[in-house]
Amino acid sequence: MITALTADYRSAGFEVLERLATVSADSLARFAQQRPEVRGGVLLATCNRFEAYLDTDGDPASIEALIDFATSTAGVDRDLLAGAAVHREELEVAGHLFAVSSGLESLVVGEAEIAGQVSRALETARSLGTTTPALERLFQRASRTSSAVQQHTMVGTAGRNIVRLALDLAGSRFTDWPTTGVLLIGTGTYARATLAALRERGVEEIAVYSPSGRAVRFAQREGVVAVTRAELPYRLALADLVISCSIASAPILDADMLRRARAVVAEPARQLVVDLGMPRNIEPDVGLLPDVALLDLETIGLHAPLPELQATDDARALIAEAVEEYGADQRATAASPAVVAYRAHVFDLVDRELERLRRRGESTEAVERAMRHLAGVLVHTPSARARDLASAGQAERFADAVETLYGIVPATSDEQAATRTDTTLAG
């Protein structure tokens, strides 16, 4: 069973999400390894959401254990998280993930970054060995659905990502972008998106600082100025606009640090500091300094357009269609182990009879062709019937019949996928 525990900026708030950002894919992998009922897991953690997807044997204790794990790891009150998080199962999980991957559940509807974040979450789980065939099918279908939404609807072009919305809000303070001095803190995905958005507005004076020491390589690749730790106070003082989008786990800038930096120059300019980090990169007290304004994710969220204004009916219809197809695939997959076991049983009987004939020294070439053809004919109709039952959500009827008639207990879909790559319902 696929189950998920999800919390986003609407249900949990940014303070809780900040703490949940300390939960890593590695720690979720350790959690899965310690729980016998959990086959695997994928963690999707972004600045707007915390989502843990599990493949379990259906034991409801797994979700309670997941809540305990998340609260202890992040230092969040258990009742607070339990009240803010949403528990989903099966097709509800699929519908949610497909909408998330398509950008319909983001702070800014249609943001471009989320599809890549979903793909990277799966890749990380693969590298940690925590994916399962069921999770692979779910996340791969989510990626295909996201691509379809982007290609066939206006969500991607109508929606603005977080970076562009932040710069739109900043535009009320900066009327002449080409003369605006910008200090960019961070060198990751949001930093590249921010740099592209700044250049679209004609910004020319851009310097970059990296708490992890990656500024030089980023600056060389992107054609901007790298800032060392020693140069940071001076660059902070000169910048009209400071944008921080680092993945640092602790705040990079506070009021005392910025106050001392601004004292480096005789007449520091009025500044806007934009914090796109999660956890937050900038302490809130920065906004209390004279001539300094702070724009953080929470404030940006208050100005984000209502999802209903941008999430088109076409996008929702595509997602609903994808969920229906995914459900049909899941139902067919449910019958596959019994079909495979039945086919294996029949063809094993054929192999044993052929081996008996060989031991007797009888010619088997023509006989083998005839027997294998007959076996194929015999299994075709039951296999087709199994497919029909699966489509109707009654796959267990075929499995029960196979067990009753032949004493065959099929392997699960996951066990089957671990040893075979081609399991179909074809006769």
Phi, psi at 272, each rounded to 5°: -115, 125
Specify the 3-state DSSP secondary structure of 249: coil
The pLDDT value recorded for residue 315 is 85
Edge-to-edge strands, sheet with 271-275: 225-227, 205-209, 181-185, 241-244, 271-275, 292-296
Query: For strand 49-56 and strand 38-46, is the pairing parallel, antiparallel, or unpaired?
Result: antiparallel
Catalytic residue among 2, 28, 32, 47: 47
Concerning whether 47 is annotated as a catalytic residue, the answer is yes
CATH fold for the domain made of 162-302:
Rossmann fold (3.40.50)
Amino acid identity, position 94: A
Q: Which residues pair with 49 in a beta bridge?
A: 8, 46
Q: What are the b/e assignments for 188-222, b being 16+ CB within 10 Å?
A: eebbbbbbebbeeeebebbbbbbbeebbeebbeeb
Spatial contact of 161 and 190, defined as CB atoms under 8 Å apart? no
Tokens of 156: 């991607």
Strands (E), 292-374: 292-296
- Which H or E element spans position 44? strand 38-46
**Residue type (1 letter), 189:** T
Q: What is the pLDDT of residue 104?
A: 85
Does this model's pTM top 0.85? no
Beta bridge partners of 243: 184, 274
Q: How many CA atoms lie within 13 A of 71 on its CB side?
A: 17
What was the pLDDT predicted at 198? Answer: 94
Structure tokens at 396: 């267990």
- The domain made up of 2-159 has a fold known as Beta Polymerase; domain 2 (3.30.460)
Element (H, E) at 345: helix 313-359
Degrees (nearest 5) of the Cα angle 21, 91, 40?
50
What does the domain layout of the chain look like in residue ranges? 2-159, 162-302, 324-419
Looking at the DSSP assignment, which residues form a beta bridge with residue 294?
273
Distance CA 334, CA 222 (A): 50
Report residues of the chain scoring pLDDT below 70: 107-109, 156-161, 304-312, 332-336, 363-364, 390-393, 395, 411-427
Query: Tokens for 342?
Result: 């039945």
Residue 393 DSSP one-character state: T
- What is the pLDDT, as a whole number, of residue 225? 96
